[in-house]
Amino acid sequence: MAATRSIVILTGAGISAESGIDTFRSAGGLWEQHRVEDVATPEGFARNPNLVLNFYDMRRAALAVVEPNPAHEALARLEREFAGELLLITQNVDDLHERGGSARVLHMHGELKSALCQSCETRSPWHGTMIERPPCPVCRAPTLRPDVVWFGEMPYQMGRIYQALETCDLFVSIGTSGAVYPAAGFVQEARAAGARTLELNLEPSEGSRMFHETRLGPASALVPAWVA
Ligand code: BJW
């Protein structure tokens, strides 16, 4: 890593799997337990808000009983020790990167501990249950929703992400299936800009052949070994 000046890291559900958080597409994962169309689309929320609020209340509650694992901690160490530019992008809505010690995390698919007001678009901290439909702390309208990015919605901070991908010299993807765009396309953007690309995953992702190098194994072993 000596000659590397700018790194972009993308993480997915696999980095939190060993902390005890379900991934989406594994056997027994969240999409086997719930229909995507019902719980992860704006149309599903409009049809049955209580079902969706229960789903996210349940996942927010689950955060209280999990801890960051050595993969989160290794990325926090990298942030502290790397002298160049580092952008850590996560698709995860959990807070395990922050609790593992990372100070700067870009949550492109939102956060479980945040609410979004559909009236005034304010994002506010959220720690309790949402099923009680409390009002927005700013405009007082009863229009809060989970501050997460559903299918058909625009992920957060895409301009900043593409800018970093255009200028990085190393792109590392950790624990993501490569099934969901635009994140699945980041490897191509980084390669087009001339970056070296590395995948760390339990199994090869859908876009695995796009990477210069793939290392297979659990994130709790692979990530500390890569950072060391
Ligand atoms: C381990 C491990 C261990 C396990 N160690 N590894 C046709 C073509 C192209 C695109 C589209 C298309 N039709 C529709 C689209 C767009 C659509 C899309 O991608 N659909 C696909 C299904 C095809 N995308 C969107 O709608 C997005 N918005 C959009 O495109 O806007 C327009 C736009 C235009 C131009 C530029 C930019 C934007 C929005 C997508 C929103 C996704 N939302 C969710 C829910 C978030 C809230 C929540 O958490 O509930 O995000 S869906 C879900 O999938 C979640 C995740 O962040 C995301 C990715 O999942 P992830 O993290 O990869 O998890 P898994 O389970 O899939 O994989 C786990 C991986 O871990 C596996 O690889 C395992 O091997 C590994 N693993 N244990 C290491 N111990």
Task: For ligand 1, say whether the CB of 173 is within 6 Å of any of its atoms.
Answer: no
Q: Is 72 an annotated catalytic residue?
A: no
Cβ(91) – ligand 1 distance below 6 Å:
yes
120 among annotated binding-site residues:
yes
Same domain, yes or no: 117 and 182 = no
Predicted pLDDT at 36: 95
Residue 128's pLDDT is 84
> How many domains are there within the chain?
2
Give the tokens for residue 199.
């995948």
Output the domain CATH number for residue 43: 3.30.1600.10
Structure tokens of 214? Answer: 């793939």
Distance 181 CA to ligand 1 centre (A): 6
Tell me phi and psi for residue 97, to 5 degrees.
-65, -45
Q: What is the reported pLDDT for 1?
A: 74
Residue-range definition of the domain harbouring residue 12: 1-21+68-109+155-228
Kindly state whether residues 196 and 221 are assigned to the same domain.
yes
Dihedral over alpha carbons 204, 205, 207, 213 (to 10 degrees): -40
- Same domain, residue pair 85 and 12: yes
Tens of pLDDT along the chain (228 residues)? Answer: 768 999 999 999 999 999 999 999 998 899 999 999 999 999 999 999 999 999 999 999 999 999 999 999 999 999 999 999 999 999 999 999 999 999 999 999 999 999 999 999 999 999 888 888 899 999 999 999 999 999 999 999 999 999 999 999 999 999 999 999 999 999 999 999 999 999 999 999 999 999 999 999 999 999 999 999
- The reported pLDDT for the residue numbered 149 is 98
**Looking at ligand 1, which residue's alpha carbon is closest to its atom 63?**
176
CATH number at residue 15: 3.40.50.1220
Q: pTM for the whole thing? A: 0.97
The answer to whether residues 73 and 227 touch, using CB atoms and an 8 Å cutoff, is no
What whole-number distance in Å separates Cα of residue 22 and Cα of residue 14? Answer: 9
102 with 22: CB under 8 angstroms? no
Say whether both 141 and 178 belong to one domain. Answer: no
Q: Ligand 1: which atom is nearest the Cα of residue 218?
A: 5
State whether 194 and 83 are in the same domain.
yes
Separation of CA 119 and ligand 1 centre (Å): 27
Q: Are residues 104 and 119 in the same domain?
A: no
